Structure 1
Amino acid sequence: MNVRELALTTLLAIEQNGAYSHLQLNDAIRKGRLDGRDAALLTEIVYGTVQRRDTLDYYLAPFLRKARRLEPWVRVLLRLTLYQMVYLDRVPDRAAIFEAVEIAKRRGHRGIASLVNGVLRAIGREGMPSLDAIHDPGKRLAVATSHPEWLVRRWIEQYGFDEAARMCETNLRPPQSTARVNRLKATVEEALERLDGEGVKAVQGQLAPEAIRAEKGNLAHTEAFRAGWLTIQDESSMLVARALDPAPGERVLDCCAAPGGKTTHIAERMDGRGEVVAVDIHEHKVKLIEQQAQRLGLDNIKALALDSRRLGERFAPESFDRILVDAPCTGFGVIRRKPEIKYTKGKDDVAALADIQQAILRAAAPLLKKGGALVYSTCTVEREENEEAITRFLADHPDFFLDAGLLERLPEPVRLHGKGGMLQLLPHHFDSDGFFIARLRKKV
């Protein structure tokens, strides 16, 4: 199976089976035994086609009006081929069209192959419809950046048109490859030197002192990673443990902790002393936390399978010095890494998740010692899940207050995007994931 046919199979699994793009892609690369060049092309086609789906459908629509109902695989084949024609300069149109027609012959019949050939060649001759034909600015932005219109209008309402547009445009770019250096095993300088020796070019990150950013090579495929010197993590996510600011010897609770990136960061910042209790509702994900801890050489982590809405059934009141609620959320801050979520999540999901977030906060609150700190974080940009969630919680819990000292604990570049005890980073601020962090304190 060649790269483009493998891309078709991968895209169908994402669209029809609800598979996660990054997991499905990694599986396809492994099973296809692709070399670096082919793996890179497959990654580009799959992610690009998912990211640009609605834009591609807009371009295809005028050329499909006379076509009978298309089988799903034919539409996906047209999308991935048009993506190459429009966005990949290094792939000649004739090569992309030829491959599409050959795939159509193998998967379908001569009639389908003829339709695919006709549609793609007509686009090549006549060009694509202009986005300027969409007069409504919100709808035009939605189609141009391939985001659901309801979501774009929501962001315009929350952040204004210009901020929403920059966020949508940033979501179309590949994410940065970043990692956190395990301070218990190496300094950033030592890690960069070791990576250089392995042929991986990396530089110091911009938001977190322990962050590095890859410019060439794959950080996860290095001996430095296998030896526990690195954890793959976005820089915005690294700010969470810094906001919690745990001290060696304390007892810390990390709710909804899998796969363990923030758990292990907390443990590292505690110099391996004290205890980090990491809970997650899924047993198989608890194993991921344990594997991370073992690889990094951290023995102060205790991982448990537990629904974070039922914490009170397992833990005594006021038994933790600090608590992290890294809440389940819509994930709209990580669309670049998981592009399919912008199509699979809807308005109802925002409201449903907001209720789950409150339930977890309610369960965690009694477990915090007086004077202790609770950090609430999400990887979304939705205010209902972020600022409004904190306002809602504080209204019901007068024994908690926002800690204005949050920003003092964070690197200077991000402070402009925070106020009081809350910080909201959008993807275009630092070319990182969109992230929300709030730091609360329990009254003495």
Structure 2
Amino acid sequence: MTEKNVRRAAVSALRAWSKGHLYADSLVERQARRNHLSTPDRALLNSILLAVLRNRSLLDHWIGMLRKGKLDHETRDILRVGICQLLLLGIPDHAAVNETVNCARKPVRGLINAVLRRAVAARKTLFSESESLRASIRFSHPEWLCNRWEQQFGHTEMESLLAWNNEPAPVIVRLNTLASHPLDPAKEDQLISLGLESYYQLAGSLPREWVESGQVYIQDPSTRFAVELLDPQPGETVLDACAAPGGKSSLVAAAMNNEGQLLCTDSSEKRIPRLIENLARQQITNTATERFDWTEPAPQMWKSKFDRILLDVPCSNSGVMRRRVDARWRLKPEQLQGLPAIQRLILENALPCLKQGGRLVYSTCSLEPEENEDLILSFLKDFPEVSLLESKQSIPFRDGFDGSYAALLSMKGSA
């Protein structure tokens, strides 16, 4: 695979992404398969695509400074790919310019070459000028989201959150305590302790055999808050209602030591096979999986059945934008108006499935009050028989992990 074709693959991925066909991580995999990319070429493609999406507004601002006039969509994507390499990824000038120019159609190669060489010449000016840009351009986030977070957190904290989202996320793994041959972290130089039980940051590449054997699962530590509040015990009957792809399900099963019954449901038929695969790989044996949409009332046979219920509801993903780099561009203000109604409905439909004396945890990977504490307070007003026992929230710039929220609920008099 030539470098030219890696740049071409990056442009193709950006074109497909802009049409809303696939998420960024899926596009990397698709282009890697389609172009038979080697491991280094796939890594280069991933770096280029994610860096362009993280810095899209800033790149467009620089393009506007370097070239006046309209550009067709493909030419703009080619310039984004080229300037990103030159100014953000530290790729040598000659390689970035030549390979990017060569991946363009002949009629626009002259234009691409001229703009990229202007970028090389104006590098210092572009960087110094960008320091005074408004946050939405400098950190490449939608203006409405920046305004929202500034009101919620304050200006300094808002910029800290934007900067956090633009940093490449480290690979963090959780050691699987259910594995038949658990890893010994003391013997693995690649594992850097985070001071949290079972969680380690990876130094270097992730050995494929660790994942395939189920010895590790890639997972941010913020995931643990919901399961810690749930506190599932061996022998209990537990429901993970929005389970795919299975990250929290695996934590629940580990806490249960594979003893008892864990029902994992998800509304998406397409996500169920991946859920089953992930659970099997981690040697989880106490689970059943089923497709179910919790915006519908629960079947009668599930009423008052579960000791513990985990509701990791669909959300805005505003707490995990460092890892899901295109989420900032997909999220729209109207979604934040519609999501709480869906989340509330899921909570209302799951509540009757809880046994007397059971625990229910509502969780999101969102930072937004409408999806978190405001929703729970509203729910408690309408369901006075329910108590809020405890809640936890992770804020990235404060806690150093992904953003998340979890609330532990129980029937009054049964905690």
Q: In 2, are the aligned partners of 1:8 and 1:76 still within 8 Å (CA)? A: yes
Cα pair distance change 1:326/1:123, threshold 3 Å: same
Cα pair distance change 1:113/1:364, threshold 3 Å: same
Distance 2:12 2:184 in 1: 38
Cα distance, 1:434 vs structure 2? 1.2
Q: In 2, are the aligned partners of 1:181 and 1:191 still within 8 Å (CA)? A: no
Distance 2:131 2:285 in 1: 58
Match 1:431 to one of 382, 400, 406: 400
Which amino acid in 1 is paired with 2:31?
A
Stretches of structure 2 that go unaligned for 5 or more consecutive residues are: none
Alignment of 1:10-29 (within 5 A): 10-29=13-32
Q: Which residue of 2 aligns with 1:131?
A: 130
Q: Which residue of 2 aligns with 1:209?
A: 197
Does structure 1 residue 324 correspond to structure 2 residue 323?
A: no
Alignment of 1:12-411 (within 5 A): 12-65=15-68, 67=69, 69-89=70-90, 91-104=91-104, 108-110=105-107, 112-126=108-122, 127-128=125-126, 130-131=129-130, 134=133, 140-185=134-179, 190-192=183-185, 196=188, 201-206=190-195, 208-219=196-207, 221-222=208-209, 224-403=210-389
Distance 1:287 1:424 in 2: 31
Which amino acid in 1 is paired with 2:240?
D
Q: Which residue of 2 aligns with 1:418?
A: none
Tell me the SS of whatever aligns to 1:38. helix
Deviation readout 1:320-348 (Å, 9 max, x if unpaired):
11111101001111112221110111110
Cα distance, 1:74 vs structure 2? 0.6
Q: In 1, are the aligned partners of 2:28 and 2:42 still within 8 Å (CA)? A: no
Distance 1:18 1:335 in 2: 19
Cα pair distance change 1:336/1:376, threshold 3 Å: same
Deviation readout 1:387-411 (Å, 9 max, x if unpaired):
11111211111111111xxxxxxxx
Distance 1:116 1:216 in 2: 35
Q: In 2, are the aligned partners of 1:253 and 1:322 still within 8 Å (CA)? A: yes
Deviation readout 1:199-218 (Å, 9 max, x if unpaired):
x7112333x41212211111
The size of the alignment, in residue pairs, is 407
Distance 1:396 1:366 in 2: 15
TM-score scaled by length of structure 1: 0.87
Deviates more, 1:209-218 or 1:360-369: 209-218
- State, as a whole percentage, how many aligned pairs show the same letter: 31
Cα distance, 1:381 vs structure 2? 1.0
Cα pair distance change 1:143/1:315, threshold 3 Å: farther
Does structure 1 residue 5 correspond to structure 2 residue 31?
A: no
Distance 2:184 2:71 in 1: 52
Cα distance, 1:170 vs structure 2? 0.6
Distance 1:43 1:120 in 2: 21
Deviates more, 1:424-433 or 1:157-166: 424-433
Q: In 2, are the aligned partners of 1:51 and 1:146 still within 8 Å (CA)? A: yes
Distance 2:50 2:275 in 1: 27
Cα pair distance change 1:270/1:132, threshold 3 Å: closer
TM-score scaled by length of structure 2: 0.92
Deviation readout 1:359-408 (Å, 9 max, x if unpaired):
000101111122211111111111111111111211111111111xxxxx
User: What is the Cα-based RMSD across aligned positions, in Å?
Assistant: 2.0
Which amino acid in 2 is paired with 1:150?
W
Tell me the SS of whatever aligns to 1:253. strand
Distance 1:237 1:43 in 2: 25
Stretches of structure 1 that go unaligned for 5 or more consecutive residues are: 135-139, 404-420
Cα distance, 1:184 vs structure 2? 2.4
